Amino acid sequence: MSPETTHGPGRDPGRANGTVSEPPAPGARRPRVGMALYGDLTYDSRVRREARSLAEAGYDVTIVCLTARAGASDLPESVKVRVQRSRGPAVIPGSSNPFFVARRGRVVAIRGRVAWLVAYARGLRAWGRLAVAIAGPVDVWHAHDLTGLAAVVPHLRRHVPVVYDSHELFLETGTALRLPLPARLMLRAYERWLVSRASAVITVNEALASVLERRYRRHGVLAVHNCPDRWVPPVERPTVLREAAGVLGNAPVILYHGALSANRGVEQLMQVLLEPGLQDAHLVLMGFGEMQDEYTRASGEPQWGNRVHVLEPVRPTELLLWVASADIGAMPIQSATLNLRLSTPNKLFECLAAGTPVVASDFPAIRRIVMGDPNGVLGAVCDPADVRAIAEAIGSILRLAPSELTELRRRCRSAADERWNWELEARTLLAVYEEVLSRRR
């Protein structure tokens, strides 16, 4: 075990992102929250925002995670970060996974996958036991994703309430999606049991909330969108992204930021650069993931003419300055899974906050935000599998007159300020906690 503690400067505990919350009475004990994150806290903006809002509302928060490579200067003093690395074989998120590697021989492949699953489950359970011990007595556990829920619930007494924070449809992603049907059904049943143990369930948008309610016969699943804080841009439009990528002059910059993984539309965005009218545009990929090395290698191919740039991710506290440097934020997520089709990616809200017009997949949840804003469209949507449709959507924005483009950027920022910001979303989170604790009392 190698715990670490990091914290940032203290803040007024009576306020949580614009939401007034009664501070504890003098001498009263602050409610304690344990957060379980079976992953890396470094770039997880949702976990950081929720922890900060709870701390500012008068809670003491302990985050137990696998990794936290960056500092936590954005967190108040009452948020403690404990890094607990998994013991035994390193079968953790990011490890070599036989479900994504082709092997010779069916029997060998099956044995390897079964062994991997058993080791993963044992490691997760052991990590959860240590996480509960490290956090100590808490009033509420906040479990991030199914891995966090499965890690801590078996080690909790029945009277300890749990808030389940489903960042996505877990069974529609990653390894779970590749399991044989019987194994998926067993995992679905186990998830249903775990969800029944939760005192409250939240997720990232209304579409996923509806699925979780139907799937687990659970009423009252609430959406807490993962929006950034309201942000005031600098007077002069930033150029940090252009400088880092080495883009000269006024060449258009198309930004994709986030997970560099399959089905995110990166391959289609590369092909867009070859379409008529976009011969001067540059594509910047900023993030990390299993496809990062492949995209870095591909960026050097002569057909792109040095117009594809792969950059490392930046810290959440710096991100909006980089996003505001782009001309367009592109997110042509592919329709590969139900989870992707129902998604409202973080990058969508980050682009709005930065005043960067978006080009996104024409999926219902995304269309409602981009095309259904009461003040007008905030970009364009398109068929994410059609390169020409993506190119036309991008071109429709780049061809706008300067005054029209300025107005579009203003609408994006206005939508973020009025509707899509963490100050508003935090109110739902705090209301959930007030209800959970009132029921316990």
The reply to whether 6 falls in a domain is: no
Task: Return d(Cα 230, Cα 210) in angstroms, integer.
Answer: 27
Task: Return d(Cα 135, Cα 142) in angstroms, integer.
Answer: 12
Which residues make beta-bridge pairs with 380? 359
> Which one-letter amino acid corresponds to residue 181?
L
User: Is 408 in contact with 380 (CB distance < 8 Å)?
Assistant: no
Same structural domain, 186 and 218: yes
Same structural domain, 427 and 378: no
Percent of residues, the chain, with pLDDT higher than 70: 87
Same structural domain, 175 and 314: no
Report the CATH number at residue 105.
3.40.50.2000
87-122 residue pLDDT tens? 665 555 655 655 556 555 555 566 766 776 777 788
Q: Where are the beta strands (DSSP E) in 125-221?
A: 140-144, 162-166, 200-203
Q: What is the pLDDT of residue 3?
A: 40
Q: What is the pLDDT of residue 347?
A: 97
Retrieve residue 198's tokens.
């939760």
Same structural domain, 264 and 153: no
The reply to whether 124 falls in a domain is: yes
Task: Return d(Cα 144, Cα 39) in angstroms, integer.
Answer: 9
Task: Return d(Cα 184, Cα 167) in angstroms, integer.
Answer: 19
Same structural domain, 216 and 269: no
Same structural domain, 91 and 156: yes
Concatenate the DSSP letters of all residues of 313-352 into one string.
---TTTHHHHHTT-SEEEE---SSSHHHHT---HHHHHHH
Concatenate the DSSP letters of all residues of 267-324 into one string.
HHHHHHTTSTT-TT-EEEEEEESTTHHHHHHHHTSGGGTT-EEEE----TTTHHHHHT
Tell the burial category of 378 from Cβ atoms under 10 Å away from its Cβ (0-12, 13-18, 19+). buried
Please count the structural domains in the chain.
Answer: 2
Task: Return d(Cα 64, Cα 95) in angstroms, integer.
Answer: 19
Task: Return d(Cα 360, Cα 368) in angstroms, integer.
Answer: 11
User: Is 24 in contact with 3 (CB distance < 8 Å)?
Assistant: no
Same structural domain, 166 and 38: yes
Same structural domain, 75 and 159: yes
The reply to whether 145 falls in a domain is: yes
The reply to whether 426 falls in a domain is: yes
Decide: helix, strand or coil at residue 23.
Answer: coil
User: Is 252 in contact with 359 (CB distance < 8 Å)?
Assistant: no
Same structural domain, 207 and 247: no
Residues of the chain with pLDDT under 50: 1-21
Same structural domain, 293 and 194: no
Q: What is the pLDDT of residue 70?
A: 64
Q: How far is CA 13 from CA 16, 67, 222, 348, in A?
A: 7, 27, 25, 30
Q: What is the pLDDT of residue 86?
A: 72
Decide: helix, strand or coil at residue 388.
Answer: helix
**Helix, strand, coil in percent for the chain, rounding step 5:** 45, 15, 40
Task: Return d(Cα 103, Cα 87) in angstroms, integer.
Answer: 27
Q: What are the backbone angles phi and psi of residue 353, rounded to the nearest 5°?
A: -60, -35
Task: Return d(Cα 173, Cα 261) in angstroms, integer.
Answer: 12
Domain range for residue 104? 15-227+422-440
Same structural domain, 307 and 427: no
The reply to whether 96 falls in a domain is: yes
The reply to whether 10 falls in a domain is: no
Same structural domain, 187 and 278: no
Q: What is the pLDDT of residue 14?
A: 36
The reply to whether 8 falls in a domain is: no
The reply to whether 3 falls in a domain is: no
Tell the burial category of 167 from Cβ atoms under 10 Å away from its Cβ (0-12, 13-18, 19+). buried
